[in-house]
Structure 1
């Protein structure tokens, strides 16, 4: 872990990453791709120590309220956050200035900040996004080894449901020949239904591989899935998009589930997360809405 002073914290689309790199150890992580220029090694987390000050300066000067997004490139609740509390400090600022939040994580550490999530949701809008990829707990520990398992994340979703905080599930990626099964899909969908999630992001059944993440995935295959690397090399070569051979059948069932349960899907989820609730903003005493992207 190392500390830096960032020059800016919010992107033009109002997204922010408080850290770079990660310690969750997910074997499929796209953020390991060389093109993102993340720390090497990836576990040497870069901490943007001045992020709260930068964020407060930006929000103080913003003319209109909007949704602030975080968690797209690195998890805001990796292990160092427990002590550093950088994410919590930024949530306090978002709450204080009345902005909305769309936050994505795999970690149950988010429950530490449930008080702020509730407050943000009451004042504006808070959307919690959880990644669910692997229903089988033992398999999950191999694929996402250094973070809580899927069942615990489901419990977090249930806690959000009790507090009326809307949730979105990222059901991605799927590793062909490992967790691209009907049983896996059924299990995760049962969690989503029971937790009454608002929508599911699922652009397909498969995984993307680029320089950096492909090599790490294959190293992990050699440790936990003997012969899988050779199978991938034979079936997919150096393809970027690695689709499951079960894609069509699984996608058909997934779309049927979405329709039956009246949930949002893919781009609809992004549209929902981008919208700041108009009834929470007053301009000259008149409700006012403007959409921001992140």
Structure 2
């Protein structure tokens, strides 16, 4: 097979929901254990590639291994002014995520470093080894005003490489010393490694954990999020954290029409039984290249459902594949979105989820004394 190159003036992509060419498709044997089926160029690249038959035998693709590159960041706290989320600052210890969730809305961010939102996102990762030191410096600034920091809002802070890199643990240790509130989002039971630290922070009302439970079906989970922990392990993490006094929210995310939407009540019940005190959901979001990546995944795994899924999504997104409007981007609008909202609310009420969310305190924040600091006069 040969490789053709375009100049970017006439994109090779097809309609939303799938690729019109096979230039970015990756052979199954080369992506075993991965989520994405393709590796398209990022949207900022000037060229596009397309394969064609040049008469030569096709060479077998090598299995894609995980590569981790240190990233030297100048700042670690990212700010946002989005009116429809509950935090204005966040930290992501890693760029890219080895969990390989095909639906991950953060995939298009890999385009900012010249990489693909497809397999590159889950195989070519970046770590931020200076995260803890940067955080300590930023929290020590005299003008800093504490508010809850969200940890892991784009990529999972407890993805597999955290076992060896330990950046998330180091960040939590800094937050604990400063008595700074934090909210953590993960789908990994690796968080239980830090149960001791989280329990200490929870006793001071400094932490809340959100654990994503996308499905209770192991087969579907393996296809959608191949390197994320088994659904049972996530429920066990909810239980273990709850028993340690750590408040836990269960997130049914994303809700995918005709694929896992029938599980809403079962997920909420399993999470509540395990000890979850709060619950939330997000309707599948498909920004930028994600519509084609997810569409290609459906073509391979559930071809008979693809058209119906995208039709329901379009009906909940104002006739488009995705609508980024504040207020509706997370839950959609229209008949299908309203049905999901009502089902979720009724299930929460029936299962006894409290109405009021657990909120962290900022009143305990302090800057620890360091060697060389000037002593107070009184």
* TM-score after normalising by structure 2: 0.65
Task: Decide which of 34, 42, 51 is 2:121's aligned counterpart.
Answer: 42
- The 2-side partners of 1:173 and 1:194 are apart by 21
The Cα offsets for residues 178-209 of structure 1, whole Å up to 9 and x where unpaired, read as: 1111xx12210111221232211225xx4121
- 1:186 is aligned to 265
When residues 98 and 175 of structure 1 are mapped into structure 2, their CA distance, relative to the original with a 3 A threshold, is same
Give CA-to-partner distance per residue, 1:236-258, whole Å, 9 cap, x none: 47521577975444432321232
Q: Report the Cα distance in structure 2 between the residues aligned to 1:118 and 1:194, rounded to whole angstroms.
A: 20
Report matched runs for 1:220-239 at 5 Å.
220-232=297-309, 236=314, 238-239=320-321
Q: 1:227–1:244: structure 2 CA closer, same or farther, 3 Å change rule?
A: farther
Q: Match of 1:104, SS?
A: strand
The answer as to 2:80 corresponding to 1:3 is: no
1:28 to 103, 106, 112: 103
Count of aligned positions = 272
**Corresponding position: 1:115 with 2:196:** yes
SS of alignment partner, residue 200 of structure 1: strand
1:101-112 alignment to 2 at 5 Å? 101-112=182-193
Per the alignment, do residues 256 and 22 of structure 1 end up closer, same or farther by CA in structure 2, a change over 3 Å counting? Answer: same
* 1:292 equivalent in structure 2: none
C-alpha distance in structure 2 between counterparts of 1:253 and 1:210, whole Å: 25
Shift of residue 110 of structure 1? 0.7
Give the 3 Å change call, closer, same or farther, for CA 233–281 of structure 1 in structure 2. Answer: closer
> Are 1:173 and 2:250 counterparts?
no
Instruction: Tell whether 2:215 aligns with 1:134.
Output: yes
Q: How does 1:137-176 map to 2 (within 5 A)?
A: 137-176=218-257
Instruction: Say if 2:322 is the partner of 1:240.
Output: yes
Assess, with a 3 A threshold, how the Cα gap between structure 1 residues 6 and 281 changes in structure 2: closer, same or farther: closer
CA deviation string 1:6-56 (max 9, x = no partner): 010113433111111111111211111369736532121111221111011
Q: 1:170 to 1:233 in 2, by over 3 A?
A: closer
> Where do 5+ consecutive residues of structure 2 fail to align?
1-67, 80-87, 324-331, 367-378
Flag structure 1 segments of 5+ consecutive residues without an equivalent.
283-294
Contact 1:124 1:277 in 2 (8 A): no
What secondary structure does 1:77 align onto? coil
Q: Which structure is higher in RCO with an 8 Å CA cutoff and minimum separation 6? A: 1
Conserved 8 A contact 2:272-2:353: no
Aligned equivalent of 2:139: 59
Residues of 2 paired with 1:74 and 1:250: CA distance? 26
State TM-score, norm by structure 1.
0.82
The alignment yields a C-alpha RMSD, in angstroms, of: 2.7
Q: Which residue of 2 aligns with 1:287?
A: none
The Cα shift of 1:84 comes to 0.5
Counterparts of 2:212 and 2:69, CA distance in 1: 27
Contact 1:65-1:276 at 8 Å conserved across structures: no
Bigger-Rg structure (1/2): 2
Q: How does 1:73-92 map to 2 (within 5 A)?
A: 73-92=154-173
Could you list the per-position Cα deviations for residues 208-264 of structure 1 after superposition, in whole angstroms to 9, with x for gaps in the alignment?
212221122122222321233344456647521577975444432321232344535
Distance in 2, matches of 1:121 and 1:112, equals 15
Q: Sort the Cα spacing of 1:123 and 1:214 in 2 relative to 1 into closer, same or farther, 3 A.
A: same
